[in-house]
Structures are given as structure tokens and as C-alpha cells.
Amino acid sequence: MITFDRVTKRYPDGTVAVDDLSLEVPTGGITVFVGPSGCGKTTSLRMINRMIDPSEGRVLLDGVDVTTVDPPTLRRGIGYVIQQAGLFPHRKIVDNVATVPQLLGWDRRKARDRAMELLERVGLDTGLANRYPFQLSGGQQQRVGVARALAADPPVLLMDEPFSAVDPIVRASLQDELLRLQAELHKTIVFVTHDIDEAVKLGDRVAVLQVGGHLAQLDDPATLLARPADGFVREFLGRDRGIRRLSFVPGAGLGLRGDLTVPVSADVASARGTAEPWLAVVDPDGGPLGWAATAGLPESGTFEAVPLAPYGTFVRDRDSLRAALDAALLSPSGNAIAVDDSGRAEGVVTREVLDEALVLAAREASRVAGETRADEGPGEAGGAREAADGR
């Protein structure tokens, strides 16, 4: 566990970057520091590995004040990933990753074997191992940066805007990769970003910081979205807070219709006279192909000859209500196709079922918000107070 105990950082010119920060970063989870530019995220992060020392207060790593440990020893247990990877430009990829193990005294061969294993683990083609950083894309370089930080198997990982220099698609895949790795490795990760979407996707807990280095709120993402502590947090979370909250409502409870799918080999006659406007057509393996409008079916033949409209899918056991809604919005039918992990259609979630789920989710949100008001009295002072206390 990492503990910030009333930490203040005042730079020599008088700038207070972090002001009386108290919070705990639990072992084995991802804690995200998020906030606008200049709110003290990087300064806070760097006080963990002693790139910066606090002016007042203490940062404790498993109960030990980090300023009592010499920086090289401390950093052996703390991986560090920065924006644009920060790779050594004149070293090959494999040597970039093997650097820290070699510094720790591993022999060259063992260090390189470990580097190759890690490159594979972060989803990088090991064929790239003998290239130089400039020969890799931004996303590939970030993966190398993560592999390098993991090389000495440190229990703690500090990540400072590691994915902000890559395009949104690569960024999403790097985020997914990090979550996949974390499910295996259970590192204690402190992740800095200014992007609230990234924060709620990655964080087990999210600390929202305000310029001047004040902690505005510390909560799990679902609570943060449901109960912003004050006007600053609400504004920072943005307009589509309601939609984002749906990411934390499981799709598993959505009712399925099994009678709205039809094999592509079926005779169109089997669908004639149905009151259903749309049927989901599936291939022989059960994979969705598209939606058939029953009003325009030909006289005879199979569904092979029927023009199909676009569709969207979601994995019912794993995905959220937001994913289900997105799947429905991708199709003119307004319905979502639920699939299993291997992509086979399990059934259809109709827009009526989605409507009902949205109403329930909205009621739940109002209930939680209502509880906030009841708990904390009028206005938002209570929430702000709670956040300021780091609760």
C-alpha cells in the first residue's frame, strides 16, 4: 500500500503543486490520478519514487517513509512508464527491455530471455525485438515502455500519461492490454491521466485533483459518476456522465428473445406472416450476419438472397448495458444481438427490454443521488467535505 499522509509540495518559486494530500493507494489495484493540467498529478506521482521529495508530510510505501530509502533501492521495486515511452534511442528493443534486469546483475542471456517473454506478454511481435525505437509505431513503443517497466517484476508501477500520445484506437487497445496484464499480475498501479474516460475505464479507484493540488474526490468509478462530490467534479466528468454510468450496469440481466434469430439456410416462407419487423440472420455456426426486414422478404428461396441491414453485438455475460445500447444503436432494427465469447448469437435483446433496463438504471441513479442528498443535507458541502477527507 502507498500512503500519502498530509503531503504538500511547494516548489522553490512558491508554487503549491500539491496541497495537504492524504490518500491511500491499495496494494494490487489501479488507482488513477485525474484532473486538469497543472493540478499536481505528476508531482504527486513522482513523490512516490523520489524523483521529487515532499515539502511537508510523508509518502509511505508499505509503511516505510520513502525519503528514508535511497532512490536506487526504492526504484528497484517501482516500475515507471512515461508518455512516448522514453526508450533509449540507440538501443535495440530487446536491450531496452533487458536494461533493468542487467543493471540488477542478471546475466545477459537471462535478461534477454526475460525481455523476449515480456515483449510477447504486452502483445508485441517478437520479430520487432532487434529494431530500434524509431522503427516502431507510437503504440508499439508504448508497449515496449510497459514491458521495460515490468522487466524487474516490481510490485509497484507508476504510469504517467503513458497512452496519451497515440491515436484513440491504439489507445483503447493499450488500455485493454493493461487491464488484461493487470488481471494476471496484480501490481499496485498509480496511473496519471487528464482523460476522464481513461480514468473510469482503468481505475479501481479514481482520485480527482483540482488545480492547487487539492483532492476533490476519491471513489470507485461507478460512485464517482453517480455521486460527484461538488460542482468542480461534476463539470470535470462532463455532460455524458449519465451514459458513462451505463458502463457500470451489467448487461447480464437483460432478457433474451430466442425466437428472433433465423439460420441463413432457412426458407423465407418460415417467416411469412410473422408480426416481427426484423429477424437476425445467423450463419451455420450461429454467427450473426445481419438483420432481415420481414416486410421486404422475397416470394421464395432462403435468407441467402435477402439483403441484410447492419447489426451490433455485445457479450451478455461480460459487457455492460452501455455496450448493449451501443449494439442496438448500430442497427436500424433498434435491437441488439447478444453473443457468447466465441461470437455465436445467443438471442436478441429488443429495444423494449433495453428501454425498461434504461428506466431502471435511471431510477437507480436517482436513488443513489437522492441518498447523497439525504445523507449529507442540502447542497453539496457534505460530498466535498467527505472528498477532502479522502473518504
Ligand X SMILES: Nc1ncnc2c1ncn2[C@@H]1O[C@H](COP(=O)(O)OP(=O)(O)OP(=O)(O)O)[C@@H](O)[C@H]1O
CB 187 within 8 A of CB 155: yes
- Least separation in angstroms between CB 380 and ligand X: 23
Q: What is d(CA 62, CA 69) in angstroms, rounded to the nearest whole number?
A: 12
Closer to ligand X at the Cβ: 41 or 201?
Answer: 41
Residues linked to residue 315 through DSSP beta bridges, in sequence order: 339
State in angstroms the smallest separation of the CB of 376 from ligand X.
28
Distance in Å, CB of 3 to ligand X, minimum: 19
42 binds ligand X (CB under 6 A): yes
Nearest to 9 by CA among 37, 36, 38, 47: 47
**Binding of ligand X at residue 13 (CB under 6 A)?**
yes
Alpha helices (H) in the chain, listed in sequence order: 41-46, 71-76, 93-103, 108-121, 138-150, 168-185, 196-202, 221-226, 231-237, 241-245, 321-329, 351-376, 381-388
> Based on CB atoms, which residue is closest to ligand X, 215 or 338?
215
DSSP symbols for 260-309: TEEETTSBGGGGTT-S-SEEEEE-TTS-EEEEEEGGG--SSSBGGGS--B
- Reported residue count of the chain is 391
Judged by DSSP in three states, 344 sits in coil
- CA 313, CA 45: separation in Å to the nearest integer? 39
| Cell representation of residue 124 | 508485441
> Given the complex with ligand X, which of 37 and 342 has the nearer CB atom?
37
In the region spanning residues 185 to 204, those forming contacts with ligand X, defined by CB under 6 A, are 194
Stretch that binds ligand X, among 9-17, 126-134, 338-346, 366-374 (CB under 6 A): 9-17
CB of 271 to ligand X, least distance (A): 56
Nearer to ligand X, 26 or 36 (CB): 36
Structure-block grid coordinates of residue 15: 508554487
Contacting ligand X (CB under 6 A), which of 17, 111, 292, 336? Answer: 17
Q: With contacts defined by CB under 6 A, how many residues of the chain interact with ligand X?
A: 13
Those residues whose C-beta lies under 8 Å from the C-beta of residue 329, and which sit 6 or more positions away, are 312
Q: How far is the CB of 297 from ligand X (least distance, A)?
A: 57
11 vs 88, beta carbon nearer ligand X? 11
Among residues 178 and 192, whose Cβ is nearest to ligand X? 192
Interface map 145-184 toward ligand X (x if CB under 6 A): ----------------------------------------
53 near ligand X, judged by CB under 6 A: no
Of 38, 57, 123, 334, the residue at the interface with ligand X (CB under 6 A) is 38
347 Cβ contact partners less than 8 Å away, ≥ 6 residues apart: 256, 257, 258, 260, 261, 337, 338
Strands 156-160, 188-193: pairing is parallel
CB–CB of 179/318 below 8 Å?
Answer: no
Of 21, 32, 39, 144, the one binding ligand X by CB under 6 A: 39
CB of 53 to ligand X, least distance (A): 12
Q: Is 11 in the site for ligand X (CB under 6 A)?
A: yes
Q: Compare residues 39 and 353 and give the one whose CB is closer to ligand X.
A: 39
- Tell me whether residue 233 or residue 348 sits nearer to ligand X (CB atom): 233
Identify which range of 32-40, 141-149, 195-203, 230-238 contacts ligand X by CB under 6 A: 32-40
Do residues 271 and 279 lie in contact, with contact meaning Cβ atoms separated by under 8 Å? yes
**At its nearest, how many Å lie between ligand X and the CB of residue 11?**
3
Q: Which is nearer to ligand X, 13 or 285 (CB)?
A: 13
Shortest distance (Å) from residue 5 CB to ligand X: 19
Residues that bind ligand X (CB under 6 A): 11, 13, 15, 17, 35, 37-43, 194
